[in-house]
Structure 1
Amino acid sequence: MEHHPEEIDEVIASLPKERGFLAPNLCLYQNFWLPVTVLPNVITFQRHFRAKDNDIVLASQPKAGTTLKALVFSIVNRRYFDISNTPLLTSNPHELVPFLEFTLYANNTKPNLEDFPEPRIFSTHFPYSCLPESVKRSNCRIVYICRNPLDTVVSSWHFFKSPVRSENQPERSMEEHFETFCEGKTGFGPFWDHTVGYWKESLEEPHKVLFLKCEDLTENVVAQVKKVAEFEGLPFSMGEEEAGVIQGIAETCSLRKLKDLEVNKSGKFMPNFENRSYFRKGEVGDWANSLSPPMVARLHSIMEEKMSPFGLEFKTR
């Protein structure tokens, strides 16, 4: 089905809206709050993207997937690059694994993706329920990664403050951001519905969706790298393990290592966000420096209500 700009404008005009952290509004589209500026790209992506069976889609909510992009790119391309000549040394992970809705389908374009080297690796913040039918019907593999809600709300507040300051807009307080987060009115939220959607799919179709937690990645990155490689059908050989290939990838893709690279200290991958804004702390439990006891209690209550019934729990320390 073709969409003309006028039709898309009519769709957007009919949707409920809320003020976002940044200047553009959020629109409630298919039960999730999406940035209004991205919605035309989203509709085009949904209608025109055609998945291939060997595609790899990396899914996350904002402020969770940068390290995963580096890891998956390195796993898939390890026969071409090692730690001494990896493109990660000169390119931001978001350039190497492009966003479908922010980059490839930007400005409501319909890109030709047929010439992408296979397996094609894409990324998205899309909820599972909103993914194109071709993704759901194909045998492509989805790797989803998320952080615990306490660290997520703090990290996203710091992340979105940067463009607000640069554009001299009024800065939203942590308390205001926390409230909208709890209400689910943040970009690609509600957090709970987004996360539970992928969690349930990973339980029902473990061959199709791999669910990862940033906390597990921090605790034992080598084990998680092996798990991702096996899920993608690209397991490490015994020789690679003995040669330290897994450890080398884990070290190269660590937040500390990526943060120290010149390419990630300056420049902009997206218009409003400097590359360095994607690499802050990445520490489990950093929320304790920003959230009050009542805030923590409220988030734990929501987690108990929205996630625990599905067996989904997080380490917060």
Structure 2
Amino acid sequence: MLAKGKYHFGPITNEDEIVTDTLSEDMKVEHLIVDEFETRIDFLNNGVLPDPRIMIPQIQTMDVFDDDIFICAFMKCGTHWLWEMVQMIVNGKAEYFSKAKECCTMEFHLPDEYSDFQRPRIFNSHFTPKCLPKQAYEKKCKLIIIERNPKDIITSQYHHWKLLFPQIALPWSDFLKSVYTNDRNINSNWFFYRKKWSDFLSSSNNPCLVLRYEDIKQKTLQSLFTLSDFLGYPREETFLKEIQEKCSLDKMRDMEKLRESGTDIINSDQVSKLYRKGAVGDWKNHFTVAQNEQFETLLEKKMNGEQVNFTYEL
């Protein structure tokens, strides 16, 4: 059970949209949906997350600076990894931030909690474009979007679930079924999330950089050069190699144990354990042949003819 947090969650009303996610025959989870954003009600009741009925409108209307940076990704796409790289590039020091990236995860905080942050502020989020601050678009803030092959995303999500809820036995097949049957227009539905960002990128005039997790993994130094140039902080190769070393999986896993998690929803030890394998192709250790065929059929249907060459193994 999570400890009582600092946020107040108001009563549910008839105007609120509540959905029940059936994870297995014995487990059902209630969610509150606000503007394409879905939150578990038990997290809200514990006060570890802000009430989205208050948070989302405040974020959408919050003041931003034109040098604010937004890292946007579906969950389990390497946000921790990239956020650490970006803050090192921007600050010009290959030193870990005093808190984990959750301190700047927009869905974990109310906007006034960022008032004392040093500029440029480096935010990260799993929001769809609709939930981000309107001023981020008006002021042409820089956006970095991370993509990853969906099979590894699902696999990593499953292990994330087991880490957060070790007391709940959720078979892989039940988890996979819950993913396949999630057809809600929310940020936790990868197909919906990706379409919203694809539509945004095709029409936005914001400076946007799209990176793929597999490319960062395979060509880390080249990706760091790309990042530094995009951000307007060109750095020497020696410095970028130092960042590459500091942001290795093992070093980041060990480092997370030693600093504040940045939020009540997860502690430092749990953040550390989120760095599990970081591998490309781990999905093959989980998907059966039949499950893979089922996913391929679903992917073809949902992508509606869009040709996306995901990298499923290296």
Which of 17, 21, 24 is residue 15 of structure 1 equivalent to? Answer: 17
* CA gap 1:307/1:223 in 2 versus in 1, 3 angstroms: farther
Cα separation, 2, equivalents of 1:253 and 1:150: 24
- CA distance in structure 2 between the partners assigned to 1:69 and 1:314 by the alignment: 22
In 1: Cα distance, 2:135 partner to 2:308 partner? 27
Q: What's 1:124 paired with? A: 125
1:184/1:191 contact within 8 Å kept: no
Question: 1:129-278 maps to which residues of 2 (within 5 A)?
Answer: 129-165=130-166, 168=167, 170-184=168-182, 188-205=187-204, 207-236=206-235, 240-241=236-237, 244-261=238-255, 263-264=256-257, 269=262, 270-272=264-266, 274-278=270-274
Tell me the SS of whatever aligns to 1:305: helix
Per the alignment, residue 279 of structure 2 pairs with 283
What SS is found at the alignment partner of 2:117? coil
Deviation sequence 1:76-132 (CA, Å, 0-9, x none):
111xx2x3xx134x643434xx11121x31xxxx51534322211111111113323
Q: 1:10 to 1:208 in 2, by over 3 A?
A: farther
Post-superposition CA distance 1:176-198 (Å, at most 9, x none) = 11112122369832101212322
Segments of structure 1 that go 5 or more residues without pairing to the other structure are none
Structure 2 residue identity aligned to 1:216: D
Corresponding position of 1:46: 59
Q: Which has the higher helix share?
A: 1
CA distance, structure 2, for counterparts of residue 46 and residue 302 of structure 1: 34
Partner of 1:92: 100
Question: What SS class does the counterpart of residue 210 from structure 1 fall into?
Answer: strand
Structure 1 contact 267–275 (Cα < 8 Å) conserved: no
Cα distance per residue 1:260-307 (max 9 Å; x no partner):
33x437975543451222210010000111111121112222322333
2:310 paired residue number: 314
Q: Distance in 2 between matches of 1:117 and 1:219?
A: 32
Aligned equivalents of 1:203, 1:222: Cα separation in 2: 28
8 Å CA contact retained: 1:58, 1:69: yes
Paired AA for residue 316 in structure 1: Y
For residue 203 of structure 1, report the CA deviation from its aligned partner. 4.0
Gaps of 5+ in 2: 1-7
TM-score by length of 2: 0.80
Letter aligned with residue 307 of structure 1: M
Question: How high is the sequence identity, in percent, across the aligned residues?
Answer: 21
* Cα distance in structure 2, aligned partners of 1:210 and 1:20: 36
1:29 to 12, 27, 34: 34
For the Cα contact (< 8 Å) 1:56–1:141, is it kept in 2? yes
| Equivalent residues, number | 290
CA distance in 1, matches of 2:31, 2:22: 5
What does 1:97-116 align with in structure 2 at a 5 Å threshold? 98-102=104-108, 104-105=109-110, 110-111=111-112, 113-116=114-117
Aligned residue for 1:195, secondary structure, equals helix
SS in 1 for 2:114: coil
CA contact 2:60–2:131 (8 Å) conserved in 1: no
Quick one: structure 1 residues 298 and 50, their matched pair in 2 at CA, closer, same or farther if it must change by over 3 Å?
farther
Which of residues 74, 82, 90 in structure 1 aligns to 2:88?
Answer: 74
Q: Match of 1:55, as an amino acid?
A: D
Alpha-carbon shift at residue 143 of structure 1 (Å): 0.9
- Residues 150 and 5 of structure 1: is their aligned pair in 2 closer, same or farther, counting only changes over 3 Å? closer
CA RMSD of aligned residues (A): 2.9
